Structure 1
Amino acid sequence: MKKLLPMVVTSMLAINAYADELPATHLKVVGSVGTSASYRDFEAPFFGEELAEDSNGQVTAEIRPFNEMGLKGGEILRLVKQGVIEYGATIMAYMSSDDPVNEAIDLAGLTTDYDSARAVTDGFKPYLSKVYDDKFDAKLLGLWPNPAQVLYCKGDIQDLADLKGKKVRTSSRTQAEFVDALGGTGVTMAFGEVVPALQNGVVDCAITATLSGNLAKWYEVSDHIVELPIAWNQIVLVVSNKTWNNTAPETQAYIENKVAALESRIWNEVKYQTEQGYECNQGLDSCEIGYKGAMTLVKADDEDRALLHETLLAEVVPKWAERCTAECVEAWNDTVGQVVDVKAAP
């Protein structure tokens, strides 16, 4: 280790020297949901502190989550295109009404494990970048997951079949179609509306990230959490082409490198965050980064996984393919479909 130390110090000095040469740049960023683990643990510190520290004050940023600005998250791409927002982050699925391509990597039941979720995301990213550039005049900078999206329910639930007859909060059209296919009723509502909705019986269950639901104290208004990822609610970070083209090339390269590192860091942490969500909601001693609840963990069995996959094939993928373009479906089949061994009919 002693031999490596001079090399490490030299590299750090070189980075700092490079940062000192960057032109002064200030970024105005709209972040994702303020109560989410992604915003709390990554977005806020990255833009609010890390960039300035790392660049010796040459690249600074201000960030506010969209939900604190009176936005619902689905408007981000439109506002970026209009020049109202320079840098914006939001959950992709929230923008499905703008273009069904935003659902492509997170169809309900598509990926139930970390490795396939990352492979699907990485594979589809180049096509998504092209769509954002062509249709929304925006550059895709980063794309990362939330912890696994799972079911929180008020009242006893033993398996997915128990969703029949229940009203379930969903955060995307594809999740609603999944719930409807199982005989439940998908109710799309904003994250901040869920606690009173569960409390007052407006919905019986709700889908969100294991840790995000914990941080928002959903364990106070629900008592069962199902250990089966339904989705990942990937977050996308974009910048308007106008803003980007007016940024110095050396600063562009610096920002891209830093965001790529952030993206990798989030992917590397999401497994831990997912497990922490389960553990904290149950109130286990292993809970380290959330609040301790007293929920019952419902472990999914092979029948649940089979039902989830069957619903994906019979209902979710076909309905999504009907509303996406032929080019979109072809790109999906060549990337996402290859990873999960599913083919969508254009």
Structure 2
Amino acid sequence: MTTAKLWRAAALGIALAAGFSGAATAQDIGKHQFNVVGTWGFLTNWQKLEQPFWNEVLKNESKGQITASAKAQTEVNLKGTEILRLLKQGVFDFAAALPIYVDEGGAVIEAVDIAGVSRSFEMSKAIADTWVPEMQKVMEQRHGAMILATFPFPEQVFFCKGEIKGVEDLKGKKVRVQGTSQGDFVTAVGGSPVTIPFAEVLPGLQKGVVDCGITGSMPGYKAKWHEVVDTVFRLPVGYTLGFWAVNLKTWQKLTPAEQTFLKTQFKALEDRSWKMIAAESDEGIACNTGGTCSAGPAAKAKLVNPSEADIKAREKALNAVVLANWAKRCTPDCVAKWNELVGKKFGLKAGN
């Protein structure tokens, strides 16, 4: 089955469940050309999900009425922190963004993806579904945008030079992190967090700027971190979340039929993203550590799974430091809402 047909089947199922036909709404769609920025061009999210969505699926399902000039973030040489500003300014109509790169209202957005909270893709998705309404308030008020869908990256793990047997060996290590809560987590287990762009991690590892880096299992492989590290330590740090947002002015110019059509297509994109990336996560571990790998030749880093003591140390870091520090960054109302919606559901509590 082709990519377009897979999406059509998913979107049709969603449309029927919602009580309307995707094909029927396509008849009421006007002609639109959108400017779009996505994620990193060398990763699966862009190659197998975003790019075909913008270049094939929407065009086919709208019968040619909706087209897009879609570029990967790497293609336009942008940093993650620039994305929402450019979306708000109208440079882009749609954009893929990560909570870790949000400045204004960042603690509320960050709450969907606090390092160490999610223990599985299912838990990460459940938190996203629960917390997105709170994120929407910040997106609309401060960024002039609306979230249409969420998507994950593979399981976040430690790639380290030298031998790492467990959490104790992270003490004193300089560890590249990709957000504030990851930095809190590394500090809590005795390491020193270092913030450098993803593209600079490989040379950073080579030159000793960092001893370890945290990233997704497959992204680390595709970025060739395995060429300079010796150990992949599979301590669960989370499942980096992203979201697709639309500029509110762009959205408000669309008719109700066009908005309904796009919501249906984005829901299909969301469902497909979570399924595909969850499946890729284990393969990413295999690709880095000598297992079966469809993405290229398997690397030979040593896989270290966490011990029971490591998991206890992880939980201690999360509860004593990571959640406590996040609570200081958010407002009391925000913390109370997170504890009510997320904390109670998963046996967690932020703040006092």
User: What is the TM-score of this pair, normalised by structure 2?
Assistant: 0.90
Which deviations, in whole Å up to 9, do the C-alpha atoms of 1:258-298 show, x marking residues without a partner?
001110111122221100101111232x3123542111111
Contact persistence 1:37–1:215 (CA under 8 A): no
Q: Would you say 1:305 and 2:305 are equivalent positions? A: no
Q: Would you say 1:244 and 2:251 are equivalent positions? A: yes
Please point out which of 91, 97, 118 is paired with 2:125. Answer: 118
Instruction: State the shift of 1:129 in Å.
Output: 1.2
> Which deviates more, 59-68 or 133-142?
59-68
SS of residue in 1 equivalent to 2:150? strand
Q: Would you say 1:332 and 2:338 are equivalent positions? A: yes
Instruction: State the shift of 1:15 in Å.
Output: 4.4
What CA distance in whole angstroms lies between the structure 1 residues aligned with 2:96 and 2:300?
32
Q: How many residues end up aligned between the 2 structures?
A: 335
What CA distance in whole angstroms lies between the structure 1 residues aligned with 2:174 and 2:91?
36
Structure 1 spans left out of the alignment, 5+ residues: 1-7
> Which deviates more, 199-208 or 130-139?
130-139
Correspondence list, 1:286-305, <5 A: 286-305=292-311
What CA distance in whole angstroms lies between the structure 2 residues aligned with 1:294 and 1:71?
32
Which deviations, in whole Å up to 9, do the C-alpha atoms of 1:169-198 show, x marking residues without a partner?
000011111111222110011111111111
Instruction: State the shift of 1:66 in Å.
Output: 2.0
Instruction: State the shift of 1:41 in Å.
Output: 1.9
What CA distance in whole angstroms lies between the structure 2 residues aligned with 1:328 and 1:64?
34
Partner of 1:103: 110
Partner of 1:93: 100
Structure 2 spans left out of the alignment, 5+ residues: 1-8, 14-20
Correspondence list, 1:150-189, <5 A: 150-189=157-196
Contact persistence 1:149–1:233 (CA under 8 A): yes
Which deviations, in whole Å up to 9, do the C-alpha atoms of 1:222-245 show, x marking residues without a partner?
121112320211011111111110
Partner of 1:204: 211
Instruction: State the shift of 1:139 in Å.
Output: 0.7
Partner of 2:71: 64
What CA distance in whole angstroms lies between the structure 2 residues aligned with 1:64 and 1:94?
19
Which deviations, in whole Å up to 9, do the C-alpha atoms of 1:98-123 show, x marking residues without a partner?
52122112211111212211111111
Matched to 2:180, the amino acid is R
Partner of 1:223: 230
Q: Would you say 1:84 and 2:91 are equivalent positions? A: yes
> Which deviates more, 232-241 or 18-27?
18-27
Q: Would you say 1:316 and 2:295 are equivalent positions? A: no
Instruction: State the shift of 1:250 in Å.
Output: 1.3
Instruction: State the shift of 1:65 in Å.
Output: 1.9
What CA distance in whole angstroms lies between the structure 2 residues aligned with 1:290 and 1:106?
30
User: What is the TM-score of this pair, normalised by structure 1?
Assistant: 0.91
Contact persistence 1:168–1:185 (CA under 8 A): yes
Partner of 1:49: 56
Instruction: State the shift of 1:83 in Å.
Output: 2.3
Instruction: State the shift of 1:343 in Å.
Output: 1.5
> Which deviates more, 241-250 or 67-76?
67-76
Contact persistence 1:223–1:296 (CA under 8 A): yes
Q: Would you say 1:32 and 2:1 are equivalent positions? A: no
Percent identity over the alignment? 38
